[in-house]
Amino acid sequence: MTRRPAFWLWAAACLLGAWVAWRGLDAAVRAFPAGSVAGVALLAPALAAGVWGLRRLHPVRSHPLGYAMIAVAWGGVAAFGLALPTNAAFQAVIGKTAGPEFNSAWGASIAAPVDEEILKLLGVATLALMAPSAVRGPLDGWGYGALTGLGFQASENFLYVLNTIVLTGATQDVNAALFSFGSRVVGGAWWSHWAMTAVGGAGLGCLLGRASRTSLTVAAGGFVLAMALHSWWDSPLMSGVLLLPVKGAPILLAAVVTYRLSRRRYLSHFRRTAHAETASGVFVPGEAHVLAYRKWRRKERWAVPAGEPRRLLARLRATELDLIEDGLGGLEHDPRSADRLRADVRDLRRHLNASAERPRVA
């Protein structure tokens, strides 16, 4: 991965974003150390729980933790840091052209959806260029888009902790952090950046998985919908606290519907491919059911003796899943990879059977 230019693009963007964000937040962090520490202490476990939950939403196997953290880092550092000056410049243009009153009311709902959704989706595209097998369809795009948005959301929540401290007179730093956590995470996390970028990421994943006019249309539609949802949330319409769940419901609904459609497409491909590989003799009968569920794969591993047999079984199941997902496509897809994976499955099964039959020395 480090040999790919996209990796160095990711690293440079994260470093630049971190530098820009630190320059913007440094003074406030130094002025309110207690509130800053409280904010990090509250937000870090929430971020970890969000990463765990979003990874587990994959119906068959969790997204690799390394790829997930790459997406989170892009959203929380690169996209967030670069969005700060970009939003400020965009809103300055709106203020000069439409007037300060219009900018105060509508500037955020115009500038942020364009700047932030582009920057966040670039994280999904960069990950796909770094690891072409990471994004093979809308379900992968949804997952990594949600993780990128979650990282952005965590950094923005920390910014709001600092803003709340200032707005409350900087006299109750920890209480301000608790209030911001309650309103932004407990009350508003259900329809925030993760949901918006998940919608756009699913469309982009469709395009990255298999490029066509239809997938290009889906990608463009997902991006426009993500921007529209973001604009709706930032608009002054329905701004009352009691109305926020009503205002956020369309965002959550769009994310859930997009996930269900992406999941259905993935599982349909999974069942179709597993059936074909069973019919051709690569998979044994009944194996597809084990492959489809984490709990059955986990039970199966514990039923195998520890050591080499268990390692071989884990490699066999991972290779079989790779074979199923290979048919989804992706960037730089090699048409010969399926045959290599089938050969690997047969070889691993032969070694596993030989290992199971080998007498154990007491």
CA 323, CA 326: separation in Å to the nearest integer?
A: 5
Q: How many CB atoms lie within 10 A of CB 257?
A: 11
Half-sphere exposure of 199 (CA within 13 A, CB side): 25
Q: Give the pLDDT confidence score for residue 357 in this predicted structure.
A: 62
How confident is the model over 187-246, as pLDDT tens digits?
888 899 999 999 999 999 999 999 899 999 999 999 999 999 999 999 998 877 778 889
More confident residue, 223 or 354: 223
| pLDDT of 171 over the 80 cut | no
Is the same domain home to 84 and 149? yes
pLDDT above 70 coverage of the chain, percent: 98
Q: Give the pLDDT confidence score for residue 293 in this predicted structure.
A: 92
What contacts 153, CB < 8 A, 6 or more positions away?
75, 189, 192, 193, 194
Q: Give the pLDDT confidence score for residue 356 in this predicted structure.
A: 65
Mean pLDDT for the chain overall: 92
Is the same domain home to 158 and 116? yes
The residue out of 219, 249, 270 marking a domain boundary is 270
Q: Give the pLDDT confidence score for residue 266 in this predicted structure.
A: 97
Q: Is residue 149 part of a domain?
A: yes
CA 120, CA 141: separation in Å to the nearest integer?
A: 12
- Domain count across the chain: 2
| pLDDT of 63 over the 50 cut | yes
| pLDDT of 344 over the 80 cut | yes
Q: Give the pLDDT confidence score for residue 361 in this predicted structure.
A: 34
| Stretch 117-132: mean pLDDT | 96
CA 123, CA 92: separation in Å to the nearest integer?
A: 26
| pLDDT of 61 over the 90 cut | yes
Is the same domain home to 245 and 128? yes
Helix and strand counts by DSSP (H, E) for the chain: 14, 0
Q: Is residue 276 part of a domain?
A: no
CA 153, CA 82: separation in Å to the nearest integer?
A: 14
Domain span at residue 238 reads 5-270
How confident is the model over 252-304, as pLDDT tens digits?
999 999 999 999 999 999 999 999 999 999 999 989 999 999 999 988 888 88
Q: Give the pLDDT confidence score for residue 307 in this predicted structure.
A: 85
Q: Is residue 362 part of a domain?
A: no
Is the same domain home to 334 and 239? no
Nearest to 284 by CA among 340, 345, 338: 345
